[in-house]
Amino acid sequence: MIRDDIKAAQLAAMKAGDKEARAAISLIQAAIKNRDIEARTGSAPADDDTLVVEVLQKMVKQRRESITMYEQGGRPELAEAEAREVAVIERFLPQQMSEDETRAAIEAIKGELGATGMKDMGRVMAELKARHAATLDMSKASGLVKAALA
């Protein structure tokens, strides 16, 4: 499980004295704990790794947005700190699908659902997320789905 990998990495960072990695991993654990608390009131995913991957993907997305804002604001040192956090977080994410694999998955789903135009985008995106959420950046997939249905 990804949670176990995160805990092991936390211990390794503590033993190695890697303060940056330890801090980033602590943020990961806090975000996962918050998501666990939220999940108590709703329906939790059947697979724990799915929940953890959702949290990690959200954290990466937030940090990439921050990097862009810091670079636009002329704060490269803060952008570099965020980039280092992204590197730590991405260690725990499963291997992401390549663009070609994503296109193939979209075409397969499009064929199965009989999707022909933009009116079917929601159905295609929902099915894509159901099947490949852990290994796919949904924001990038959205653009590819639009192109495939246009």
Task: Print the domain residue range for 30.
Answer: 2-90
Output the pTM of the full model. Answer: 0.75
Do 84 and 105 reside in the same domain of the chain?
no
CA 34 to chain centre: 16
Tens-digit pLDDT profile for residues 91-137: 998 888 888 888 898 889 988 888 888 888 888 888 888 888 778 87
d(CA 80, CA 143): 27
64 is written with which tokens? 């990439």
Tens-digit pLDDT profile for residues 9-52: 999 999 999 999 999 999 999 999 998 888 777 665 566 788 88
CA 105 to chain centre: 18
CA-derived radius of gyration, the chain: 18
User: What is the per-residue pLDDT for 45?
Assistant: 57
Span 76-99, average pLDDT: 92
Do 62 and 120 reside in the same domain of the chain?
no
Tell me the pLDDT band of 70, cut-offs 50, 70 and 90.
very high
Tens-digit pLDDT profile for residues 52-61: 888 998 999 9
* Helix ranges restricted to H, the chain: 2-16, 19-41, 48-72, 76-90, 99-113, 121-132, 138-149
- CATH number of the CATH domain containing 128: 1.10.10.410
Do 58 and 10 reside in the same domain of the chain?
yes
Q: Maximum CA pair distance of the chain?
A: 55
Do 61 and 8 reside in the same domain of the chain?
yes
Tell me the pLDDT band of 1, cut-offs 50, 70 and 90.
confident
